């Protein structure tokens, strides 16, 4: 008569397998080999600099100069005036919108909390991380688990608040407290809208 020896092999075992790194749960993603270096650089940048949204867009490292004619006459928003066919100069939006390419990125507005400031959902926001934020600037802030666009208020007693600007809804302000994890990512420089 033979005996069958029972072993506890195979299947999952408590505590087995790779341990999660300090960053939390990991995932595997496949990317083209040509992008590995760029992704590695983005990871290093994300660990050493202020975070930016994952879907942020960055200016080209080799922008193509594109000169757009700028009319000599200002166009009145009130009463119409005869159009003058004169061109004052040409502008290149790479230079006009971006004063510091290494510190500039673009992000789409994700909501309507700043509607009264002229920022609609899906507007492209030009954010400059090299600009020192001043009282009443519109800033992008990292609140630890989310990004937000708000009006910066600096008070004489040192308090800072981030205010929403939409009178048609209940959009909260943010008042950082002692121990809160948050940072100002950059200052809004321009808004690019689609009016159609």
- Active-site annotation holds for 113: yes
Torsion angle of the four alpha carbons 176, 174, 134, 178, in this order, in degrees rounded to the nearest 10? 0
- Does the CA dihedral 60-61-62-63 come out positive or negative? positive
Catalytic hit among 21, 22, 150, 167: 150
Give the start-end residues of each E strand in the chain: 67-71, 87-92, 104-108, 124-128, 138-142, 147-154, 160-163, 183-192
Instruction: Count CB-CB contacts under 10 A for residue 106.
Output: 19
Say which residue the tokens 């942020």 belong to.
56
User: How far is C-alpha 28 from the chain's CA centre?
Assistant: 24
Instruction: Count CB-CB contacts under 10 A for residue 110.
Output: 15
Q: What are the structure tokens assigned to 140, written together? A: 């992008």
DSSP 3-state percent helix, strand, coil across the chain (nearest 5)? 15, 25, 60
Catalytic hit among 14, 25, 61, 113: 113
Please identify every residue annotated as catalytic. Answer: 113, 150
């Amino acid at each position: 008569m033979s005996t069958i020896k029972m072993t506890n092999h195979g299947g999952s075992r408590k505590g087995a397998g790779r341990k999660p790194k300090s960053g939390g749960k990991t995932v595997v993603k496949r990317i083209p080999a040509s992008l590995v270096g760029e992704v590695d650089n983005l990871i290093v940048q994300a660990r050493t600099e202020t975070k930016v949204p994952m879907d942020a867009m960055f200016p080209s490292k080799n922008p193509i100069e594109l000169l757009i004619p700028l009319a000599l006459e200002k166009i009145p928003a009130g009463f119409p005036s005869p159009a003058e066919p004169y061109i004052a100069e040409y502008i290149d939006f790479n230079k006009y919108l971006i004063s510091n390419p290494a510190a500039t990125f673009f992000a789409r507005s994700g909501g309507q909390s700043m509607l009264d400031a002229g920022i609609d959902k899906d507007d492209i926001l030009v954010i400059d991380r090299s600009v020192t934020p001043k009282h009443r600037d519109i800033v992008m802030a990292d609140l630890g688990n989310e990004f937000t666009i708000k009006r910066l208020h600096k008070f004489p007693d040192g308090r800072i608040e981030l205010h929403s600007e939409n009178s048609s809804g209940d959009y909260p302000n943010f008042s950082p407290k002692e121990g809160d994890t948050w940072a100002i990512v950059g200052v809004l420089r321009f808004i690019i809208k689609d009016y159609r």
